[in-house]
């Protein structure tokens, strides 16, 4: 009798990872770095970047201000509603290595983008997305032209920094639900606080974290470990709100009802943002809702609806959560009233994009019967197109005239964009500068700085006395210190040295090292026989290492 022989099943050998899969994270970093490396040669746009790098250079050069940043507004010590201390600290640290060399600031923007892409890739995998799907989604994020401004425009790093803290926070929440360890609670507290001190949008990371780590989970949302997690969230938010309340900020004066009303009025912006993500052909460096087209958003909505329809077998709940996360992180942008800021910048999509990537991961785009090779060709093709678009878009951020020309082209009804371009053309094309400035004034005579620039044009055309009403009006509206320089000249021409002295003193209270204004004020002290003030002022000039004319030195016995 023959014994039955049982054949042992041979275990199939594990398929070796190819180079793309094995080194996916490194490929992401390398491609992102190569794409954005040319941005180190970009200059200033003169939209906030000159403020943070040039005008705040003395602030950035004092390492002690790393702590002081937590007590002030982002643009000024007191007259500011924005509280973003870690953004200020990023410029302090940047200046320590690169001084005022703008290439160093652009380079740091690239490094921050690489770090955010890396954290996104890790977070997507933590969300249960297959590694190569997470890779392609992260790559599309890394090269997407709608996010170019976050990297190529230096102040755009604020949203990149936000992502660097929000993504690890969300990952720590997901990990804690699987393994409730103390170190993960501490990580949540640290990353959430850092995100909050970067941008107020981080408050909406809390409901997003609940959706991703609790709502999508099959575990209870009220058990002991989860309640401890909630306590950490509430405690971190309380620390942030306390620090913000102690900072020297200007209260916006806006009631909660006004903010909600503003959000409802700006709902079309959501549709516009949706279109910019899926059909990024109508991008703008200075977008305004009045100049936006919603047609691309409508088409994109229809396309996504079709994707969801043909993906009925997939996780519709995760798709819904993805969409809600996208909306949640955009709510702060919708709640900003037009009176405070009427621009809908595209770099604000940096963190909200996470939600759309989660949604797409559940559609037929990534859950289909295509081979890995076919998927690579399809997703790689899309990424390549987006990368080329970003590369073409990057030079728009090269210099002020290029930047503001693009702003006027895409947002012709923006008073600010027309004004800023006009102010940069007055040396080369006075006729066009005058036309643009008049257009800006007609669009909004209450626009901040518009009266200053209108007055400046009058001065350049030799109409010094006619410029006075414009400068006085700007002083009422914004107290812009440069107005005092012109008003001092006007007072001097009107033979009113007392008023001229007052205006120059106010100017020098801000721009203390201006050599010409210091000399003019010293001369006026002599002319009005205020020798004590002249001597005190000359000593101040000497301390600042400013050159004092020999005639004044002799008379003062210096």
Reported as a single tens digit per residue, the pLDDT across 9-20 is 455 445 567 888
DSSP 465-492: GGGHHHHHHHHHHH--THHHHHHHHHHH
Q: Are 382 and 388 in contact (CB under 8 A)?
A: no
Whole-angstrom CA distances from 135 to 161, 376, 511 are 21, 10, 50
- Write the pLDDT tens digit of every residue in 89-108: 999 999 999 988 999 999 99
Separation of alpha carbons 236 and 202, rounded Å: 11
**Residues 464, 458: Cα–Cα separation, whole Å:** 6
- 239: Cβ contacts below 8 Å, ≥ 6 apart: 193
Which has the closest alpha carbon to 170: 357, 344, 23?
A: 357
- Judge contact between 387 and 143, C-beta under 8 A: yes
DSSP state of 15: P
Q: Which residues of 307-319 are buried (b: 16+ CB within 10 A; e: fewer)?
A: bbeebeebeeebb
Which residues on neighbouring strands pair with residue 288, listed in sequence order? 343
Distance (Å, whole) CA 192 – CA 207: 12
288: helix, strand or coil: strand
Which residues in the chain land under pLDDT 70?
A: 1-16, 251-259, 261-262, 337-341
* The Cα angle at residue 532 between residues 530 and 533, in degrees rounded to 5: 70
In terms of C-beta density within 10 A (0-12 exposed, 13-18 middle, 19 or more buried), how is residue 396 classed?
A: buried
Counting every residue written for the chain, the total comes to 558
- Residues 184 and 172: their CA atoms lie apart, in Å, by 6
The CATH H-level (homologous superfamily) assignment of domain 400-556 is: Tetratricopeptide repeat domain (1.25.40.10)
Distance, in Å, from the CA atom of 151 to the CA atom of 144, rounded to the nearest integer, reads 11
Q: Which residues contact 310 (CB under 8 A, 6 or more apart)?
A: 363, 364
Ramachandran sector of residue 46 (left: φ over 0; alpha: ψ -120 to 50; beta: rest): left
Q: Find how far residue 51's CA is from the centre of its chain.
A: 14
Which two three-digit tokens encode residue 536?
């005190």
483 with 452: CB under 8 angstroms? yes
Return d(Cα 321, Cα 253) in angstroms, integer. Answer: 34
Q: What is the dihedral of CA 141, 173, 233, 117, to 10 degrees?
A: -20
In this prediction, residue 368 carries a pLDDT of 86
Question: In angstroms, rounded to a whole number, what is the distance separating the alpha carbons of residues 51 and 91?
Answer: 11
Q: So what's the pLDDT on residue 5?
A: 46
Instruction: Quick: pLDDT tens for 125-156.
Output: 999 999 999 999 999 999 999 999 999 999 99
Q: What is the pTM of this model?
A: 0.89
Residue 419 contacts residue 449 (beta carbons within 8 Å) = yes
Alpha-carbon gap, residue 39 to 158, rounded angstroms: 17
**208 neighbors 329 (Cβ within 8 angstroms):** yes
Provide the sign of the torsion angle of the four alpha carbons 368, 370, 373, 376, taken in this order.
Answer: negative
- Give the C-alpha separation, 47 to 196, whole Å: 24
**Residue 456: what pLDDT?**
92
Residues of the chain with CATH 1.25.40.10: 400-556
Q: Are 494 and 502 in contact (CB under 8 A)?
A: no
Is residue 468 within 8 Å of residue 491, measured between CB atoms?
A: no
Q: Are 150 and 350 in contact (CB under 8 A)?
A: yes
Of residues 251, 231, 229, 248, the one with CA closest to residue 239:
231
Tokens (6 digits) for 264: 């409802």
Task: Show Cβ contacts of residue 478 under 8 Å, excluding neighbours closer than 6 positions.
Answer: 448, 449, 452
């Amino acid at each position: 009798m023959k014994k039955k022989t049982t054949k042992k099943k041979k275990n199939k050998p594990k398929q070796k990872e190819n180079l793309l899969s094995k080194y996916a994270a490194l490929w992401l970093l390398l491609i992102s770095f190569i794409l954005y490396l040319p941005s180190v040669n970009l200059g200033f746009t003169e939209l906030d970047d000159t403020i943070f790098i040039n005008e705040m250079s003395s602030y950035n050069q004092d390492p002690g201000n790393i702590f002081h940043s937590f007590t002030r507004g982002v643009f000024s010590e007191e007259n500011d509603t924005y509280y973003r201390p870690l953004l200020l600290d990023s410029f302090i640290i940047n200046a320590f290595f690169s001084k005022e060399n703008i290439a160093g600031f652009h380079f740091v923007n690239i490094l921050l983008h690489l770090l955010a892409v890396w954290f996104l890739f890790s977070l997507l995998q933590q969300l249960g997305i297959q590694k190569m799907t997470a890779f392609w989604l992260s790559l599309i994020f890394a090269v997407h032209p709608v996010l170019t401004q976050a990297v190529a425009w230096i102040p755009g790093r604020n949203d990149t920094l936000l992502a660097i803290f929000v993504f690890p926070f969300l990952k720590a929440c997901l990990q804690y639900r699987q393994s409730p360890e103390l170190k993960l609670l501490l990580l949540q507290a640290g990353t959430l606080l850092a995100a909050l001190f970067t941008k107020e949008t981080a408050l909406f990371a809390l409901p997003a974290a609940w959706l991703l780590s609790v709502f999508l989970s099959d575990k209870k949302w009220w058990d002991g470990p989860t309640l401890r997690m909630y306590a950490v969230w509430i405690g971190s938010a309380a620390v942030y709100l306390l620090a913000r309340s102690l900072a020297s900020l200007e209260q916006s004066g806006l009631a909660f009802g006004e903010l909600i009303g503003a959000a409802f009025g700006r709902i079309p912006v959501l549709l516009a943002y949706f279109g910019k993500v899926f059909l990024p052909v109508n991008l703008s460096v200075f977008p305004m809702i009045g100049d936006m087209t919603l047609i691309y958003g409508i088409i994109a909505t229809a396309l996504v609806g079709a994707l969801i329809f043909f993906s009925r077998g997939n996780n519709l709940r995760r798709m819904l959560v993805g969409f809600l996360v996208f909306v949640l992180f955009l709510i702060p942008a919708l709640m900003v009233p037009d009176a405070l800021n009427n621009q809908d910048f595209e770099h604000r999509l940096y963190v909200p994009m996470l939600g759309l990537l989660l949604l797409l991961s559940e559609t037929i785009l990534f859950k289909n019967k295509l081979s890995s090779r076919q998927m690579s060709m399809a997703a790689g093709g899309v990424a390549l197109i987006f990368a080329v678009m970003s590369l073409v878009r990057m030079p728009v951020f090269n210099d002020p005239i290029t930047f503001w020309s693009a702003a006027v082209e895409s947002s012709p009804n923006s008073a600010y964009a027309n004004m800023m371009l006009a102010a940069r053309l007055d040396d080369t094309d006075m006729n066009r500068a005058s036309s643009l400035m008049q257009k800006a004034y007609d669009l909004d005579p209450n626009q901040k700085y518009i009266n200053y620039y209108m007055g400046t044009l009058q001065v350049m055309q030799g109409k010094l006395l006619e410029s006075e009403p414009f400068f006085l009006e700007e002083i009422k509206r914004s107290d812009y210190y440069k107005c005092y320089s012109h008003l001092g000249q006007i007072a001097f021409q009107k033979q009113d040295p007392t008023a001229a002295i007052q205006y120059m003193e106010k100017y020098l209270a801000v721009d203390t090292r201006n050599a010409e204004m210091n000399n003019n004020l010293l001369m006026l002290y002599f002319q009005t026989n205020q020798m004590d003030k002249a001597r005190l002022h000359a000593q101040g000039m000497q301390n600042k290492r400013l050159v004092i004319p020999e005639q004044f030195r002799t008379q003062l016995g210096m």
